Amino acid sequence: MFPLPAAPFDIKVGGGNRIWFTLPEANQIGSLEVIVSGTITQHLYTFYSLPTPNSQPYRLAVDSNYVWFTQKRGNRIGRLSINDGVITEYTVPTPASEPTGIDVAPDGRVWFVESKGDKVAVLTPSSGTIQEIDVGYSGTELDRIDATSASIIWMTAPGIEMLLGYRPAFNDFVSIQIVDMRPDAGPQAARGLSATSSGVPWISTKELPKVASYQYGTLAIWIWQTYPVENADLVDIVLWNQSGNTLLWTLDAVNREVLLIDAGTMRLLQRVRLGAGDSILTALAFDPVTQVVWIADAGRPALYAVEPPYTLQMHLPLVMR
């Protein structure tokens, strides 16, 4: 466990081999760098305060040079330079839009959603301009966004129990109702979102907890998978392609555990419990290089590292700055 001075919310791996996380109430972005020298391992914390007070940094996206983040209360998009720590802020054109999910597309553009503005927007880093697109619905409560595929940008709209996909080449939306047609099921509100490079989205839900993939294209159907834990609340999911096999990391907030599942068979491969009774697990991140899973706990507050062979590792920071 890595204790923190404030509660983390979102977490990502990358950008200088660091673990990046948001501290909403402290109005900071934090990073954790694991430094290994022989038999000695040090953990270096760095905290970056935002220029706009009380802006509530919310979700993160990381590329090779920058950490991008939404400022939900501040109605801004932030950019932190990994090289020198300089923070640049961009005001969202729609007032009080409450930007939430954010992701970097393959072409380097930064996509984000506005939970109160009912819009998806794209920021062009070279010019700093923001273009907003109305999604065509009100009360969407847009939350997650995934820009992994160059052809379609997926976003969750839990307020209307839908998954929306924006196609930049056609400037149009694919609107998909999240419904499980099996007995005792029905409409669902997505919690987690993760898409493949070919544009296949996976979601997780809370009610009748399960995961599903949407076969966008010729099939155009939901494929629901029965989750191995009945009372789970799957707040986050991450896809992992290993030697051609699609694996799925899931974060269960109710049972306070992280699971690794074969996405094809839904066979449970790993299961690690973490946290305590006061834990509020909010997000997970996976490092494909080290194969370490990182989890944010807003209740304690702390970060966890689940390392191969996937037993919970406990660490104490040696250096802070």
Q: The tokens of 102 are what?
A: 């954010």
pTM, to two decimals: 0.93
What is the average pLDDT across 153-180? 94
User: In the chain, how many H helices and how many E strands?
Assistant: 0, 30
Contacts of 19 (CB under 8 A, 6+ apart): 11, 12, 13, 31, 32, 33, 34, 285, 294, 303
Closest CA to 273 of 300, 288, 253: 253
Residue 270 has pLDDT above 50, yes or no: yes
- Using DSSP's 3-state secondary structure scheme, residue 159 falls into helix
pLDDT in tens, 101-133: 999 999 999 999 999 999 999 999 999 999 999
Q: Percent of the chain having pLDDT more than 70?
A: 92
Residue 314 has pLDDT above 60, yes or no: no
Neighbours of 49 (CB within 10 A): 11
pLDDT in tens, 30-85: 999 988 767 777 889 999 999 999 999 999 999 999 999 999 999 999 999 999 99
Q: Residue 173, Cα to own-chain centre: how many angstroms?
A: 22
Question: pLDDT class for 312, splitting at 50, 70, 90?
Answer: low
Q: Percent helix, strand and coil across the chain, each rounded to 5? A: 0, 55, 45
- Using DSSP's 3-state secondary structure scheme, residue 160 falls into helix
Q: What is the sign of the dihedral through the CA atoms of 52, 56, 59 and 62?
A: positive
Distance CA 118, CA 95 (A): 12
How far, CA to CA in Å, does 204 sit from each of 22, 96, 163, 207, 252?
22, 28, 11, 10, 10
Closest CA to 186 of 207, 171, 165: 207
